[in-house]
Chain A
């Protein structure tokens, strides 16, 4: 049941417990209890909104940065990851398999801001060996959602 509640909330966090309850055919109080428990357990972290910032006219640049680091005895990559994700400019940090270690997403108001962050904050951290910055030119799909969906309802208004 938790999985079903989560799947619904993932696509629309505005759904009320009552709506979720009717859609799943269970009790509202049960849904409320489960949601509360999942918030407490840190399964549900945030009810956020997916925004097309470009369309909103807000200037913003993002970059994905491949970071190579020297892992440390005892803590591996976790310590250096924490040093990085504490910066508010950093949107996401993931440990990767392959030719580099951490993938870091950084956003800023413009290229200069991001570049400065990388050269002054990120690259200078102890244990960071190298960085490779890729700026995002355009987003097509994010969190499973197509940003400019050309598919619309093309059906006849009434059909048998």
Chain B
């Protein structure tokens, strides 16, 4: 008997919720003249010397498969980078894998450690891929809320409330997308303690680690007894403006990385060699360009925060990534209707906080990976929008009174 169309798709996939961003994306794509502050990738193009290194590698005939683990030279540079920047020591021979973006590394990490039925803790608001990847790996994602009053840092107490005998792993993402929150050394101490006490594996997505504006990033893997239970995930997309190259990496204890390579060798084989060559150049000679970009992000960050506060929006100072996550509660609107109205009336696109989990309600994500000119224009429009809202609200209140 032939399968009905609807039955061809596995229930696991069928029941995955659609991306919260998709609907909004269509709305924005169909509106003309929009300034988008909804983009989760750098507005910079990959630095020229990196692009140039890729051309050269193609001229030299680098068009083949590489080792499943990634090119040895690249792994060595990654190892140096992790040591120099975050004081993490990983053996390039068997503790580092080069992946197709941090995205693949997240998927590999979860599939490698999950036994069906395991629970995975995911702090929210959060980047959108952890939950679906956990589900696809057979795990049950368990949300841990973070909140505005804690500047969206993960709190030990909240974490402890969600831990039980089935809890296998915790996903951390700091500096955070969408909130811009970071976890400093003192913030991570309790989390590390809890992980050790409950024998949790930590998957630490540190893709924004180079984009911090108040001191250097600290990796949870650098804490005592954490190295052996942490999978550090990072990549080139954000700091080196290399999103389209699809290149990232994971570092961790040998047994886990080896197991990740096992999946990777059958499903991906290896990351594209031209992207690996570009990544090599990025690590060897890209520091100065990264510094320049970070400087600009920082200037825009201060500018955006001060503009938002001038509008009367509450907004904590984000210290990492390139997002601001202001509260729009004073408008009395939901995140989604705020974003939709702002788009319709003023043609400014932001992402409703709820796209990143329920606890994002009452917030919007603003990306400052946009030119200062566009930021200025967009924020002026937004200020006008909010001013009108409050005016209308006052009129409405008056009408209600009489």
Contacts and interface: CB of A to CB of B under 8 A. Distances in A.
B303 A157 contact: no
A158 B303 contact: no
A148 interface: no
User: Which of A23, A155, A160 is most buried by chain B, counting CB atoms within 10 A of its CB?
Assistant: A160
Q: Chain A: interface secondary structure?
A: loop
Nearest to B300: A23
Query: Which interface class (under 10, 10 to 19, 20 to 34, 35 or more) fits B?
Result: 20 to 34
B20 to A, nearest CB: 9
Contact of B349 (A12, A25, A158, A160): A158
A150 to B, nearest CB: 11
B351 interface: yes
Contacts, number: 53
A126 interface: no
Interface string B356-369: 00000000000000
A157 B306 contact: no
Contact of A24 (B29, B129, B299): B299
Contact of B302 (A22, A156, A157, A160): A22
B36 A160 contact: no
B303 A155 contact: no
A96 interface: no
Nearest to A18: B306
B302 A155 contact: no
A160 B360 CA distance: 14
B303 A159 contact: no
Contact of A158 (B28, B43, B306): B28
A22 B28 contact: no
B45 A23 contact: no
Contact of B303 (A19, A156, A160): A19
Given A151-B45, A153-B43, A158 B302 contact: no
Contacts of A151: 45
B300 A157 contact: no
Contact of B127 (A153, A158, A160): A160
Contacts of B34: 157
A23 B376 CA distance: 12
Nearest to B29: A157
7 contacts: A22-B306, A24-B302, A157-B39, A158-B24, A158-B28, A159-B40, A160-B19
